[in-house]
Amino acid sequence: MTQQRKLRIGVIFGGRSSEHEVSLVSAKAVLGGLDPARYEVVPIGITREGRWISSPQALRVLQVRAGSETEPECVLVPEPARQGLLVMDAQHVPVSPLDVVFPLVHGTYGEDGTLQGLLELADVPYVGAGVLGSAVGMDKIVQKQLFERVGLRVPKYMWERSSRCTAASRDVIAAVERTLRYPVFVKPANTGSSVGITKAHTRRELHAAMALAAAYDRKVIFEQGVREAREIECSVLGNDEPVVSLPGEILPSNEFYDYDAKYVDGASQTVIPAHMSSRMTRQIMQMAATAYTAIDCAGMARADFLVTRRAGTIYMNELNTIPGFTPISMYAKLWEASGIPFGDLLDRLIRLAMDRHAEKKGLRRFFDPRREWYRT
């Protein structure tokens, strides 16, 4: 009996992103969770400066921020015939092709469609949303516009260009105060992990928050705070027919679920499953699936909601197309509570990536005109 070949899984982490450190922790969990009996894992680290390295020490090198210059540099070649990494040594020796890539670069240049575009050019199957779903999922403004289009309730919001927030800050603040009530959440349109986000209670705080958000992205979104809100999350899994986990609730250690509350102080708590009626549970799960389909998501996403305590009004907040896989991240924990252990979850994500790639391979890519008009 012939032994089945192991799949070569490239796990990409790090990156030129404000979420670089979060990505490293996610990668550690995934690298440790992939079954060595089924997969040959290829760690691929991207330094904060954007240098690609691939070696068994790649994760440690990025963690200590030292030694990357001595590690083998590599590139992912956007050429379908290769489908793998090219090691940039003196001989430019290519390694074996990758069967699937598991991108774990959170934020810019990884979660926003840029890395997915490179993987599409290379014709390599990859876990998670495609170019469109990734780009829309990263942009909090466009995402909300699509959610509204399919009838999902979102918190009241407005947005402005960062350049105008800087050059005409008084006018922007006046517009915000005419449109929204304090407290106002001020966010860069394209970051995650609550980087650059402030909850502003006064005009003075709003001015400082706007400057901070504008430093991270070319667009700033202003959202009216939902009073007495519960933070509810669901995990979504699948391609054309997604399934949704049981909801869970975040009990943040700070006034809102900011970066420190998520990763640093270790004091935030989770309740899985969230305490709510079966009717509300079904409604939230349906909204998560609707949002997932609306942005053309695939593979995985975490859906975040705000639910008022008294009236039980549900607001769709956002989708995260590369959710965290850290020990405290909700995506895997929610699936664990819903009956899918971590190892099985990784297996499913890899299979979904291969299924979607196979479907794309079946599409027609060329058109032969009846006359060769282009040769003249």
Indicate the SS3 state at residue 119. Answer: helix
The enclosing domain of 72 has a CATH number of 3.40.50.20
Q: What residues have CB less than 8 Å from 240, skipping those under 6 apart?
A: none
pLDDT at 1: 46
**Whole-number Å distance between alpha carbons of 216 and 226:** 24
**Whole-number Å distance between alpha carbons of 122 and 82:** 8
Statement to judge: residues 288 and 265 lie in one domain = yes
Statement to judge: residues 234 and 337 lie in one domain = yes
The residue range of the domain holding 323 is: 229-355
Statement to judge: residues 51 and 93 lie in one domain = yes
pLDDT at 196: 85
pLDDT at 2: 52
Statement to judge: residues 217 and 300 lie in one domain = no
Statement to judge: residues 261 and 314 lie in one domain = yes
Q: Distance of CA 341 to CAs 34, 57, 273, 337, 366, Å? A: 12, 27, 16, 8, 42
pLDDT at 253: 67
Statement to judge: residues 214 and 332 lie in one domain = no
Statement to judge: residues 71 and 169 lie in one domain = no
336 close to 236: Cβ distance less than 8 angstroms: no
Max Cα–Cα distance, the chain, nearest Å: 74
Q: Indicate whether 365 belongs to any domain.
A: no
pLDDT at 86: 74
Statement to judge: residues 171 and 237 lie in one domain = no
Note the pTM of the prediction, 2 decimals.
0.89
Count: domains in the chain: 3
Q: What is the mean pLDDT of each run of 10 residues along the chain (376 residues)?
A: 79 91 94 95 93 91 87 82 69 72 93 95 95 96 97 97 93 96 94 81 95 93 94 97 96 61 62 96 98 97 96 95 88 96 97 96 83 76
Q: 189: closest CA among 148, 257, 141, 136?
A: 141
pLDDT at 132: 97
